[in-house]
Structure 1
Amino acid sequence: MSKEILVCGAGIVGLATALALARRKQPVEILAPLPAPLAPAGDPYHPRVYAISPASQRFLAELGIWDALPAERIMAVQAMEIHGDADGCVTLDAWQAAVPQLAWIVESSEIERVLTQAARLSGISWIQDRCVGYQSGAVLTEQGGQLRADLVIGADGAKSPLRLAAGLRQQSAPYDDIALVTHLDVEIPHQGTALQWFREDGVLALLPLPDSARGPQVSLVWSLRSAAAKAIQALPAAEQAARLEADLALATAGRLGRLTVNAPVHGFPLFLEQAEMIAPGLALVGDAAHRVHPLAGQGLNLGLGDALALAQVVAERESFRAAGDIRVLRRYRRARAEPLLAMRLATDGLHRLFGSHSMPLAWLRNAGMTLVDQTPMLKRRLIAEASGL
């Protein structure tokens, strides 16, 4: 059995890749268990939310799924406040770059739901199995199948079985950080502002969410040293919530008033990873290809950038080249090299900069933030880079 393009994995990036290829008239098939149908969500909100950049929003609109997302579940980010570990602060407003918003906060489950519906409605073939190996150019499946394709795309996550079986090298460095994720009710309305604090004990972010029945709420992403995060995770639920609320009251200095945990707390170990993205007949996208520190909230945006770039180079290849021709795949790798390197250097550099306890560095980083905040041109450039404008 041979198909021209086989996408292994049906997460957000895998579905977006398959749909982008199908929209460009490329024969594509998905290999993944078919998810159970999801009804539109109500309260509570899904624990994992993403900050969708304007570039990613345009891509999702091109795929025809942005308008299918329930508008009442999306929160536009109008501004960002970024605080240093002293008096440094940068405020970024959408109006400074003459854009309607800086980003949108959307639940993972809602994006997956509408992408799955779009893929099924588009007539994309779906093999309800999963990749467990790769041998002699064939994808080996859990049910004993062997699938061949001109191009096999690994969109099967950070522990990608396809990447491992194909022997694609990966550089992986743990941060010894765990991101604690939950949602909070807040006393003071967030007004569409995302808040972030670079602290000695980690990076704290509060992302605005649509109001719940109880009132305004935010999503918490707090990257803490593993020992500190595990100590919080080990507490019983009531004590865990009380500990987080007390710690957050100090960390945020009451910026949003009283903060109340309203959902279970999840923890995700953090890594800096970069894999070989291509081999003859193989390409990786999303977490299978790379992971960065979440302090910039760009992980999914990078993956969607992979999906768009790969679909474009495959669709625009010469008619005499196969989709998996290494010359075609090198174009994909070149297209992604600069944005991936820039984001990796930025996130890792910021993590290291604010993780240092050196007094001169502490003064320098906070003074630098103050300088940026007083320089409109630099602020516009920051917004443009983060937005993909």
Structure 2
Amino acid sequence: MSRIVVVGAGVAGLAAACALGRLGHRVLVLEKRQTPARVAKGEVLQPGSLAILRQWGVTELLDQAGALRLSTLVARAADGEPRMVLDYHRLPAEQPWLLAHDYPVILQALTDALPPSVEVRRGVVVREPLRAGDRITGVRCDDGDLPAALVVAADGVSSRLREAAGLSAPRQDYPHRLAAFELAEADVPPDFSAYVTDGGLRLHYPLPGRRVRLYVQIGPDELRGLDQDGLRRWADGVLAGCPGLAPLAGALHAGLAQRQLLPVGRALAASLVVPGLALAGDTGHLVHPMAAQGMNSAIADAHELAAVLRQGGSLAPEVVDHALRRYDRARRANLAHIGRTSHNAARMITTRSWLGARALAGTGGNDRIRHEVLHTMSGLGVRKLTLLDRLHQARLLPDPRARRLPDWVRTAAPAPAGEAAR
């Protein structure tokens, strides 16, 4: 039986292994780390991803692990007043909610759902791809060569395989970073809340065990060199500039030492494939985390790659390469739109521009546009906004259809709060 090699055991790599293994292929996952890193990312799953993960048995495992259902994504003023509310219960989905849990727990659920035809090897460093002419035919590791009918590069932003294959994904960094905090013994409503403040984005959502993930937008060197007293003063400034965070004040001060500083950028590779190799996840694309799209796009990559390979019916080189070209066309078009949507959402929240403020208010006050944006962000399918929609969104033109809901919107009453917060 021909073999597929997946390089990287993050969400993108494990999702690819799960999807491809379910086709009956023999899949080998190679990961340089012995244990997953505990990072403050990839903790919120969108309904589109949940529909895929449900097919693989992953959502059931996450529910058993205590994952939380979040009912809304809310953009708020600094005092906590809602400015835009995306109500996930209005979506035409079997699981119309966001699902939140720790990144390592999500990785474990994916690992536990892997089919028997998938093997994961940790502590393996992949040096370079193997080639036969212009085609990738496997990978070279420290302990030997591993031939493959297909290589999936899911080895992250700094992918060695991507560069060696001649692919590039130029990164555009945002002029800010995010400081991530895990707050213990804290409670917030069951939603994904982003605050617009003079100091930039403040974002939080609950995690199991009465924990809260809090992100604070900072300048590149804002926290550099601060001692304990300096950090306390910094936290006081954050709270003063965002009164809506007042209920988290004690937890923030207690959690200042346990912080992660995250660079923020966006990227999309000019191509996601070369003959014999496909890029997946952060290896091929990046978005601002404001819209909770990064991990979800990686899961969609895996699902699409499996779909085109299933239609091909074999792992013969010409069949694989035809499938890869189809994968590239389908995913790049989707990723380009998701990237623009995420970037526009980030600009509305992270900058204090006149146009951003109008766009946020215009989206929040326009039922039609707000629901179209919700559908795209949920991963259920791209709903493109026209130039006229953009003018309505920025309140440069009145919209006579502003109160007209799209046909797909559920009109039933929302689920009870207890069910949403499960």
TM-score norm. by structure 1 comes to: 0.84
Does residue 340 of structure 2 align to residue 345 of structure 1? yes
Asked if 1:386 corresponds to 2:377, the answer is: yes
Deviation at 1:273, TM superposition (A): 1.7
Q: Out of 209, 217, 239, which is 1:249 matched to?
A: 239
Tell me which of 189, 192, 196 is aligned to 1:191: 189
Distance 2:46 2:91 in 1: 14
Mark the CA change 1:88 to 1:33 in structure 2 (over 3 Å): closer, same or farther.
closer
Give the 3-state SS of the residue equivalent to 1:257 in structure 2. helix
CA contact (8 A) 1:75 1:209 kept: yes
Alpha carbon RMSD of aligned pairs, Å?
Answer: 3.0
Task: Identify the residue that residue 366 of structure 2 maps to in structure 1.
Answer: 375
Shift in Å, 1:138 = 4.8
Distance 1:22 1:242, change over 3 A: same
C-alpha separation between the residues in 1 aligned to 2:28 and 2:144?
15
Distance 1:351 1:380, change over 3 A: closer
Q: Give the conservation status (yes or no) of the 8 Å contact 1:54–1:387.
A: yes
Which residue of structure 1 aligns with residue 20 of structure 2? 21
Q: Say if 1:94 and 1:325 are closer, same or farther in 2 by CA, change over 3 A.
A: closer
Q: How does 1:35-114 map to 2 (within 5 A)?
A: 35-36=34-35, 47-48=40-41, 50-69=43-62, 71=64, 73-83=66-76, 89-97=83-91, 101-114=96-109
Q: How does 1:185-334 map to 2 (within 5 A)?
A: 185=184, 189-212=187-210, 217-228=211-222, 232-236=223-227, 238-239=228-229, 242-255=232-245, 257-259=247-249, 260-261=251-252, 262-263=254-255, 264-275=258-269, 276-319=271-314, 321-322=316-317, 325-334=320-329
TM-score relative to the length of structure 2: 0.78
- The structural deviation recorded for 1:10 is 1.1
Counterpart of 2:403 in structure 1 is none
In structure 2, stretches of 5+ residues that fail to align are 381-422
Out of 124, 127, 130, the position equivalent to 2:125 is 130
Where does residue 417 of structure 2 map in the other structure? none
Kindly indicate whether residue 29 of structure 2 is the aligned counterpart of residue 30 of structure 1.
yes
Query: Residue 207 of structure 1: SS of its match in structure 2?
Result: strand
Residue matched to 1:41? none
Structure with the higher fraction of residues in strand conformation: 1
- SS for the counterpart of 2:312 is coil
Identity of aligned residues (%): 24
Q: What is the alpha-carbon distance in structure 2 between the residues aligned to residue 98 and residue 247 of structure 1? A: 42
SS in 2 for 1:197: strand
Q: How many residues align?
A: 368
Deviations 1:52-102 (A, max 9, x none): 001111211211122122546311111222036798811222344476643
Q: Distance in 2 between matches of 1:117 and 1:296?
A: 28
Question: How big is the shift at 1:252?
Answer: 2.6
The one of 357, 360, 372 equivalent to 1:366 is 357
Distance 2:164 2:215 in 1: 33
Separation in 1, partners of 2:224, 2:20: 41
AA partner of residue 89 (structure 1): R
